[in-house]
Structure 1
């Protein structure tokens, strides 16, 4: 069964977007509503740096239309540690902060590891065993963003596949590009937006990722986020890709 393709950016509060993506004079409190009307997903990065209140998640859910999805970047305290097997308490704290208030707007959870973190099979297996399949009755989908070459290992792919955890496909020169399907959904982070290109990526690049998105969707839901690069261009890049792949 073909999955849905959702495309977005990281966050929605970014001053250089005002007057470029957001109309001049748009109140800041309406920025999420505006962005959600033009994108189909947003990756929330604030959850990486600190916890949020249940009421905040509930307000975010109310601000977006049906079918819109938030992915959440997991707390750095879960992943930025020497022994991942000891992350259980931090994982439980992150998952219990009120994310279930997002309801059916809750998408994948992104677990990002430091660029210096190397693959240690036993420790990583122990970490994956700590990730629950549901929280408060809501199913959870987990995404792994690994940024060290040691993860380019069939043993890592096998662990991710066993856990039904997706591995980030990064479009970047800064991190390993791991193009491996390990879950019943896919997740890409596209980091090559260029400021001199109005849509961030040129037409050929957007066409390429539209094709890849359709391929991903053959295996289940596909999530693609324009992250970093020339960040001011990322909303335009996302909208241009949505024009090519359509809305769910």
Structure 2
């Protein structure tokens, strides 16, 4: 009997963006209702504000209450954890970030994006020391960790092997100048696609949307999407949950692209 495919969740980065008012958000919608509206159209959102400053536990609880029961948030980790010369020394910053209230999201807490600067190079020993600092659970909630590396030195099978050892996902950055690493290294996949264009009403062409819908379905089924760059042989064919965010590009079009991808991956 075939195993069921993993869940596919698709969304955007953040929900506060003035140009979305009157396009993605209906004219006259109160700003305090924007998250609820976005959550009714999407299946996940990546919170960016957590990268730049601490959020109150009450804010996480409020976001949980304003969204549907099956909605999930991804979080960008604090930049103070990753923007450092010696990653092995990040322990206090990681603890401060993780204990700042994010578990108030409860079952709506999705993966955490530990994003590194484009200048950060792969030092295997130091990077492993960083991975050892990431706990598997907090307050009884399982944590899912993903790393977004943006330097060519990470394009190494050794990097993929290290992530697989610790069950951490390599974030696939796509349609961008950053290295594309599409290897599945964890029980879930995290992708950020950045190629939306103003000339396309849905952000991507129909062919582009279908390409990413096929990729999401392949990952969810335990397969390897065609046309994406990988660095090591596949590790099994177990179904995986997929988190895909339409980021950057022409930001005005990102909600339309996300909704179009949701429509293509349902059913």
> What pairs up with 1:82-161 in 2 under 5 angstroms?
82-161=85-164
Give the distance between the partners of 1:55 and 1:96, measured in 2 at CA: 13
**Counterpart for residue 73 of structure 1:** 76
Determine whether 1:236 maps to 2:256: yes
Per-residue CA distance 1:86-118 (angstroms, 9 max, x = gap): 000000000000111001000000000000000
> For structure 1, which runs of at least 5 residues remain unmatched after alignment?
none
Structure 2 residue runs without a partner (length 5+)? 222-238
Mean Cα deviation higher: 153-162 or 110-119: 153-162
Q: Where in structure 2 are the equivalents of 1:45-84 lying within 5 Å?
A: 45-84=48-87
Does 213-222 or 132-141 show the bigger shift? 213-222
Which residue is equivalent to 1:37?
Answer: 40
Once residues 36 and 181 of structure 1 are traced to their aligned partners in structure 2, the CA distance between those partners, rounded to angstroms, is 27
Distance in 2 of aligned mates of 1:223 and 1:122: 28
C-alpha separation between the residues in 2 aligned to 1:173 and 1:181? Answer: 19
**Aligned residue for 1:196?**
199
Q: Return the offset for 1:246.
A: 1.5
Deviation at 1:84, TM superposition (A): 0.3
Matched residue count = 247
Deviation at 1:170, TM superposition (A): 1.3
2:245 paired residue among 217, 225, 246: 225
1:6, CA displacement in angstroms? 0.3
Match of 2:225 in 1: none
Q: CA deviation at 1:232?
A: 0.4
User: Following TM superposition, by how much is the alpha carbon of 1:173 offset from its aligned partner in structure 2, in angstroms?
Assistant: 3.1
Q: Does residue 1:245 correspond to 2:248, yes or no?
A: no
> Matches of 2:107 and 2:176 in 1, distance apart?
34
The alignment status of 1:177 with 2:180, answered yes or no, reads yes
Scaled by the length of structure 1, what TM-score is found? 0.98
- Over 3 Å off, 4+ runs: none
